[in-house]
Amino acid sequence: MITHLRIDNRLIHGQVAVTWKNHIGADKIIVTNDKVAADPIQKMALPLAARGSTVLVLSVAECIQYAKDHPNETMFVIAKFPSDALQILESGVEVKDVNVGNAAPINGTTYKMVDKSIAATAEDAVIYRKIAAMRGNKLISHLTPANEPRDFLKLLDEAGF
């Protein structure tokens, strides 16, 4: 089961590799995004950033199939974009928690800062709201286990989305 699905375009960094993985008690970290999974350099480098944790770098379709084939594993999945997370949720795979982590601004896009560490475009906001609708109209942003989770829909509203 996917115990924790984090949307974080920075993928693996110290916050994720140590703090979140230990907090969740995950067997492995799965990074999912089609372009990342097709990049041999990222497939090699991302596991190195996870400090000895088991890391898989998979396309979204491969992630969904892996989750279906290994329902008894405790998985921490990091989706690069909200669209990646939405595909996972739409597949029907069991996901316990969904968390909007960090989303650095992407050059060339029209974005607004939803908070100090999350940028979103209008298209992202639509996808986040679809995710929330699938989750009982709830979606949180939780940067680290030490921080308080925040209502991400409220942050979107405050940003004008």
Strands 75-79 and 28-32, sheet pairing = parallel
> Of 13, 23, 70, 142, which residue is the catalytic one?
13
Question: What are the pLDDT digits (tens) for 106-127?
Answer: 999 999 999 999 999 999 999 9
DSSP string computed for 70-95: -TTS-EEEEESSHHHHHHHHHTT--E
pLDDT of residue 127: 98
pLDDT of residue 153: 98
- Residue 62 CB neighbours (<10 A): 15
Catalytic residue at 142?
A: no
Strands 140-141 and 150-151, sheet pairing = antiparallel
* CA–CA gap between residue 42 and residue 48 (Å, rounded): 10
Amino acid sitting at position 154: K
Question: What are the pLDDT digits (tens) for 59-105?
Answer: 999 999 999 999 999 999 999 999 999 999 999 999 999 999 999 99
- Residue in 160, 138, 157 with CA at minimum distance from that of residue 149: 138
Would you identify the CATH topology of the domain 2-158?
Fructose Permease (3.40.35)
pTM: 0.95
Q: Please give the share of the chain, as a percent, with pLDDT higher than 90.
A: 86
